[in-house]
C-alpha cells in the first residue's frame, strides 16, 4: 500500500529536489519539495507561483460516496480497464443521522442500496478499494490508512487537506479531476503561492488545535488562502499531535487554501506507529530531510514564503466562529457581549462533536473529561448532544475506553461513523422552521441551512471540548474558561481545563474494518446501474460549443453576497440525487440570495415576466426554448465544497457563462471542466451595472487566448448598450475544454 508508494517517492525525491534547487537558484520549502517531486515533467514546466499551471502526478485518489458517483460516471466515459493510480471510495456522506448509529446505518443500507451497489461494483471492476458504509469518514480513514509524509493525494472533497497532518499535500478536487487522474492523465493545478505560518509556544488549558485554525479563519478570512498552500513550521508545530495537525489542515479549506501541510516530525511517527504503520514511520524517519523544508527556509522564512503569519500557541485563547461564516471569529470570552449586541439567541438547542475534522482520540478524550466533570456534579446536557465518530477505529476505541458511556450518561447520542449532521443529513427533532435558534458544533462549515436544512439556524463552530461544555450549560453566553456553573446541589463550580490523551495508551481497538478489495482482474465484471433508477443516470456528453459568440443571453440569477456551493447546489435531502444529474438540478441555486428577489432561490422568467419561480424552473423554461443563460456572482463565488454539481447542474440547464467578482479555486476549475465560461469582471464594480432585464453578450470567443480578456456587452432594456471587459484564467488546454463542451469531451 502506502509503503511501496513511499519507497518509490523517497527514492526519486533527492534528484527532483536537486534539480529544483538548481533551477530556482535557492533552497526549497516543504510544499515545493512535494510539488516538484510529483511533477509530470519537471524540466518542461514553468514554475511561477500564482501564475503557472502545474501538471502533477498524484500518488492516489480518494472519493466519498456523494461525489464518487459523478467521478465514476465520468471515469467510465474514458473507457479504461483500471484506475491508473491507487484509488478508494468511502461511503460516508449518504447516511442520515436520526436514531443513532445502528438503526441509521441499517436504514442507509436500504435507502442507498442502488448507489452503494453501483459504487461497489464499479470499484471492484476498476481496481478501486471500497470502504463500506459505516467504516468511517473519508478524511479520517485516509489519515489512518493512506496519507504519508511527502505524498500528493487528491480527493473529491474539499476537506481532503486533512492529510497534511501527516506531512503530505492532500488536495480537494472535483470529480472530473479525479476521473481524469484515474484515467491516467496528469492533474493540473495553478501553482499555489505559499503562506508560511510560524507556530511558537505550546497550547495549554482549554486551547486546542482547532483554535489555531479558528483564529486563522478570523485573521485571513474565507478568501485569504485562495490558490495558496499554508505551510506550518516552527517549534510550536512539533508540540501538536498529528491528528491536531490534521484538524488544522482540514479546516484550512475554510480559508479557501489549496491545501495545508506540516513538516514531518515525531508526532507523525507516533501516529503512524499506533495505526500499524511502523515500517512507514521508520522509512520516513530515515528520509526526514526530504520531508521538511530546507534549513535555510526555517532560518529566514520571509525570503521563501509569499506571506508570513505568526501564532504564539501559548497565548491562544479558545475561539468560537459564526454564525453563517467560518471567518467571523472571536475569543470565547468575547462572545457573550457580542451575542447580546447582535441579538444572537443564546439558548443552544444542539451541540455536536466529532466529524472528519475533530474526532481524534485526543478530541474525544478531552471532551469526555469535560463530560465526566459535569456528571460528577450531577449535571446532564441541556442541549441535545450528538457525537459523530470519524471511523470504526475511533468508535471502538471510544467504546472500549468508556467514553461512549460517559457521553450517553450525559444524555448524548452517538451517531454512525459518517458525516450526518455535518452535511445536513440530520433530522432535528426540535427544529422549528422560521425561528432562529443557535447550535454549536466542532465541524468546519456553518453556512445557513448547512446542518439542519433550516436557513434561520445560527450555527457556531468551536473545539469539541468547548462544544461539550456548551452542551452542558445550553448557553452560548457561557465562558467555560472563566465562568462557574451550578452543580445539581446548587453549588458553584468551575470546569477544569480538559485533559486527554493524544493517542490511546492501549492502542486502537478495531471493529469491522469495512474494506473491500477490488478484483484482480475486472474485465468480465459489470457495473450495476438499474436502467429505471431514480438515483443514477448515465451521463450524456454536453454539446460542443457551436463556434458562435454568446448573443443577448438572459440573466438567470445575479447572486448577492456569499454564494457557496451549498447555496448553488444544496446537500441534505438532495444528496440522494447526486448520481442523477437531471433530478438533482431541481435544487439549483435554491439557497442563493438573488440581487432582485426577496426570497433565496427564487427569480423571474424575464421572457414571460412570471415571477416567484425557482431558478431551476426558469432555466428549464429557457432550455426548452433552446436559449442559454448567464449567471452573475459576487466575491469568492463557489466558496466551500468540491461538489461539481454546482457546475454540472448549471451546465445541464444551459448556463453558458458565469461572471463574478472572484471565484473559489475548486469551483472555478469545476466550471471550466464542464465547459462553462468562467469570467471575472475586470472592474469589480461593473457587477453593479447588471440589472434583471439586461441581455448580455460575450464576444470574441473565436479568438479566446490565455491572458486575453473578452468583451461583455450589457444590453439594457431601454436599448442602451454598455461594453465592459471580463477576464478569464483559462490555459490553452482549458480553452479546448470550453470548445469541446467539457474537459471530458476534449478527451474523447
Ligand atoms: C462538504 O463538507 O461540503 C462536503 C459535503 O464534504 C463537500 C463534498 C460534497 O458536496 O459532496 C466538500 O467539502 O467537498
Ligand atoms: Fe463529511 Fe462534514 Fe467532513 Fe465534509 S466536512 S467530509 S460533510 S464530516
Active site residue 93: yes
What residue owns the CA closest to ligand 1's atom 12? Answer: 641
DSSP 319-343: EEE-SSSTT-EEEGGGHHHHHHHHT
The DSSP result for 213-277, as a single string, is HHHHHHHHTTTTTBTEEEEEESTTGGGS-HHHHHHHHHGGGGGTBSEEE----HHHHHHHHHTT-
Sheet containing strand 458-461, edge to edge, reads 329-331, 319-321, 458-461, 438-441, 348-354, 384-388, 413-414
| pLDDT of amino acid 431 | 57
Q: Which of 87, 391, 641, 697 is catalytic?
A: 641
Q: How far is the C-alpha of 332 from the C-alpha of 316, rounded, in Å?
A: 11
CA-nearest residue for atom 3, ligand 2, is: 356
Catalytic hit among 38, 60, 90, 93: 93
Cα angle 217, 360, 313; round to 5: 45
User: Residue 725 is inside which H or E element, if any?
Assistant: strand 721-727
User: Which residue among the candidates 445, 620, 645, 656 is catalytic per the annotation?
Assistant: 445
Q: Kindly calculate the radius of gyration of the chain based on its CA atoms and give it in whole angstroms.
A: 25
CA of 176 to the centre of ligand 1 (A): 15
Ligand number, closest to the Cα atom of 162 = 2
Residues 6+ apart with CB under 8 A from 655: 556, 619, 628, 629, 630, 631, 676
What grid cell was written down for 627?
436559449
Ligand 2 binding residues, C-beta < 6 A: 93, 137-139, 157, 159, 355-356, 419, 422-423, 443-445
- Is 38 within 8 Å of 129 (Cβ atoms)? no
pLDDT of residue 432: 60
CA distance 608 to 605: 6
CA proximity to 589, closest of 627, 553, 618, 554: 618
Residue 2 confidence (pLDDT): 87
What CA–CA distances, in Å, run from 383 to 19, 318, 414?
A: 57, 20, 14
Q: Going by CA atoms, what residue is nearest to atom 4 of ligand 1?
A: 641
294 is annotated as an active-site residue: no
- Output the CA 168–ligand 1 centroid distance in Å: 21
pTM equals 0.95
Of 59, 65, 92, 401, which one is the catalytic site residue? Answer: 92
| pLDDT < 50 stretches in the chain | none
Diameter of the chain measured on Cα atoms: 78
Q: How far is the CA of 518 from the centre of ligand 2 (A)?
A: 25
Which residue among 643, 645, 656, 665 is the active-site one? 643
Assign 202 to helix, strand or coil.
Answer: coil
268 CA distance to ligand 2 centroid (A)?
23
Which residues are near ligand 1 (CB < 6 Å)? Answer: 66-67, 93, 157-159, 172, 423, 445, 571, 640-643
Active-site annotation holds for 643: yes
Ligand 1 atom closest to the CA of 642, numbered from 1: 14
Counting ligand 2 atoms within 8 A of each CB, the residue from 67, 160, 423 with the most, and so the one to mutate, is 423
Catalytic residue among 65, 157, 327, 437: 157
pLDDT digits 0-9 by tens, 253-270 = 999 999 999 999 999 999
Identify whether the C-beta of residue 40 lies closer than 8 Å to the C-beta of residue 56. yes
Beta strands 677-681 and 721-727 are antiparallel
Mutate to test the pocket of ligand 2, among 247, 355, 416 (most ligand atoms within 8 A of CB): 355
Work out the number of other CB atoms within 10 angstroms of the CB of residue 714: 18
Is 208 assigned a catalytic role? no
Residue 572 has a pLDDT of 87
From the list 191, 188, 142, the residue with the least C-alpha distance to 168 is 142
CA atoms of 150 and 173, how far apart (whole Å): 19
Cα of 641 from ligand 2 centre, angstroms: 9
Contact of 723 with 682, CB cutoff 8 Å: no
User: Are 149 and 3 within 8 A, CB to CB?
Assistant: no
Q: How far is the CA of 443 from the centre of ligand 2 (A)?
A: 8
Q: Kindly report each contact of residues 202-206 with a partner whose C-beta sits within 8 Å and lies 24 or more positions away, as own/partner.
A: 202/236, 202/239, 202/313, 202/314, 203/239, 203/240, 203/313, 203/314, 203/316, 204/314, 204/497, 205/481, 205/497, 206/317, 206/318, 206/332, 206/463, 206/465, 206/466, 206/480, 206/481, 206/497, 206/498
Q: Which three cell numbers stand for residue 612?
A: 416567484
Q: Cell numbers of 190, please?
A: 495553478
Q: Is 57 marked active-site? A: no
Say if residues 64 and 157 touch (Cβ distance below 8 Å). Answer: yes
Closest C-alpha to ligand 2, atom 2: 422
Amino acid at each position: 500500500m502506502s509503503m511501496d508508494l513511499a519507497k518509490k517517492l523517497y527514492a526519486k525525491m533527492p534528484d527532483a529536489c536537486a534539480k529544483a534547487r538548481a533551477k530556482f537558484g535557492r533552497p526549497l520549502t516543504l510544499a515545493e519539495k512535494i510539488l516538484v517531486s510529483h511533477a509530470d515533467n519537471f524540466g518542461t514546466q514553468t514554475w511561477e507561483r500564482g501564475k503557472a499551471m502545474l501538471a502533477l502526478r498524484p500518488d492516489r485518489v480518494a472519493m466519498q460516496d456523494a461525489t464518487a458517483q459523478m467521478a465514476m460516471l465520468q471515469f467510465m466515459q474514458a473507457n479504461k480497464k483500471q484506475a491508473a493510480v491507487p484509488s478508494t471510495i468511502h461511503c460516508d456522506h449518504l447516511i442520515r443521522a436520526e436514531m443513532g448509529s445502528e438503526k441509521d446505518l441499517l436504514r442507509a443500507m436500504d435507502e442507498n442500496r442502488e448507489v452503494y451497489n453501483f459504487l461497489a461494483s464499479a470499484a471492484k471492476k476498476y481496481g478501486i478499494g471500497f470502504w463500506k458504509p459505516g467504516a468511517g469518514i473519508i478524511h479520517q480513514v485516509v489519515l489512518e490508512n493512506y496519507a504519508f509524509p511527502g505524498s500528493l493525494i487528491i480527493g473529491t472533497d474539499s476537506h481532503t487537506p486533512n492529510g497534511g497532518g501527516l506531512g503530505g499535500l492532500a488536495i480537494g478536487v472535483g470529480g472530473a479531476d479525479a476521473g481524469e487522474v484515474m484515467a491516467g492523465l496528469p492533474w493540473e493545478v495553478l501553482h499555489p503561492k505559499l503562506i508560511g505560518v510560524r507556530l511558537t509556544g505550546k497550547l495549554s488549558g482549554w486551547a486546542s488545535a482547532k483554535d489555531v485554525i479558528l483564529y486563522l479563519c478570523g485573521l485571513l478570512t474565507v478568501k485569504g488562502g485562495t490558490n495558496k498552500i499554508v505551510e506550518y513550521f516552527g517549534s510550536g508545530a512539533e508540540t501538536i499531535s498529528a491528528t491536531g495537525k490534521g484538524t488544522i489542515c482540514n479546516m484550512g479549506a475554510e480559508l479557501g487554501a489549496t491545501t495545508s501541510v506540516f513538516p514531518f516530525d515525531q508526532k507523525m511517527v507516533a501516529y503512524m506507529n499506533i495505526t500499524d504503520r511502523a515500517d512507514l514511520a521508520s522509512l520516513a524517519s530515515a528520509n526526514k530531510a526530504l520531508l521538511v523544508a530546507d534549513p535555510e527556509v526555517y532560518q529566514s522564512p520571509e525570503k521563501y514564503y509569499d506571506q508570513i503569519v505568526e501564532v504564539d500557541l501559548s497565548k491562544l485563547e479558545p475561539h468560537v466562529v459564526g454564525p453563517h461564516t467560518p471567518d467571523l471569529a472571536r475569543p470565547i470570552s468575547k462572545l457573550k457581549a457580542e451575542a447580546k449586541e447582535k441579538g444572537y439567541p443564546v439558548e443552544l438547542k444542539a451541540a455536536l462533536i466529532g466529524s472528519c475534522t475533530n474526532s481524534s482520540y485526543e478530541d474525544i478524550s478531552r471532551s469526555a473529561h469535560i463530560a465526566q466533570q459535569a456528571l460528577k456534579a450531577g449535571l446532564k446536557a441541556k442541549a441535545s448532544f450528538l457525537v459523530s465518530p470519524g471511523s470504526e477505529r475511533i468508535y471502538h476505541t471510544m467504546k472500549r475506553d468508556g467514553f461512549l458511556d460517559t457521553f450517553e450518561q450525559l444524555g448524548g447520542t452517538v451517531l454512525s461513523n459518517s458525516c450526518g449532521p455535518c452535511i445536513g443529513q440530520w433530522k432535528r427533532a426540535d427544529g422549528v422552521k422560521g425561528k432562529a435558534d443557535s447550535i454549536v458544533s466542532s465541524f468546519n462549515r456553518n453556512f445557513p441551512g448547512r446542518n439542519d436544512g433550516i436557513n434561520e439556524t445560527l450555527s457556531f463552530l468551536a473545539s469539541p471540548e468547548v462544544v461539550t461544555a456548551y452542551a452542558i450549560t445550553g448557553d452560548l453566553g457561557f465562558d467555560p474558561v472563566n465562568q462557574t456553573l451550578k452543580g445539581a446541589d446548587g453549588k458553584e463550580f468551575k470546569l477544569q481545563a480538559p485533559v486527554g490523551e493524544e493517542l490511546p495508551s492501549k492502542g486502537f481497538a478495531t471493529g469491522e474494518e469495512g474494506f473491500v478489495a477490488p478484483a484482480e482482474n475486472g474485465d468480465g465484471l459489470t457495473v450495476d446501474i438499474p436502467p429505471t433508477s431514480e438515483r443514477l443516470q448515465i451521463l450524456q456528453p454536453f454539446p460542443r460549443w457551436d463556434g458562435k459568440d454568446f448573443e443577448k443571453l438572459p440573466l438567470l440569477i445575479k447572486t448577492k453576497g456569499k454564494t457557496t456551493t451549498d447555496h448553488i447546489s444544496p446537500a441534505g435531502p438532495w444528496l440522494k440525487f447526486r448520481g442523477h444529474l437531471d433530478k438533482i438540478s431541481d435544487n439549483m441555486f435554491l439557497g442563493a440570495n438573488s440581487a432582485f428577489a426577496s426570497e433565496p432561490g427564487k427569480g423571474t422568467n424575464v421572457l414571460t415576466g412570471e415571477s416567484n419561480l425557482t431558478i431551476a424552473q426558469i432555466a428549464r423554461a429557457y432550455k426548452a426554448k433552446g436559449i442559454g443563460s448567464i449567471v452573475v456572482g459576487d466575491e469568492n463565488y463557489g466558496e466551500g465544497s468540491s461538489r461539481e454539481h454546482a457546475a454540472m447542474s448549471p451546465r445541464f440547464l444551459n448556463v453558458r457563462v458565469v461572471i463574478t467578482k472572484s471565484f473559489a479555486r475548486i469551483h472555478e476549475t469545476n466550471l471550466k471542466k464542464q465547459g462553462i465560461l468562467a469570467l471575472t469582471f475586470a472592474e469589480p464594480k461593473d457587477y453593479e451595472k447588471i440589472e434583471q432585464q439586461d441581455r448580455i453578450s460575450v464576444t470574441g470567443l473565436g479568438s479566446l487566448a490565455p491572458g486575453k480578456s473578452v468583451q461583455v456587452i450589457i444590453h439594457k432594456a431601454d436599448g442602451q448598450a454598455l461594453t465592459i471587459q471580463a477576464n478569464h484564467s483559462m490555459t490553452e488546454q482549458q480553452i479546448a475544454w470550453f470548445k469541446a463542451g467539457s474537459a471530458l469531451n476534449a478527451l474523447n
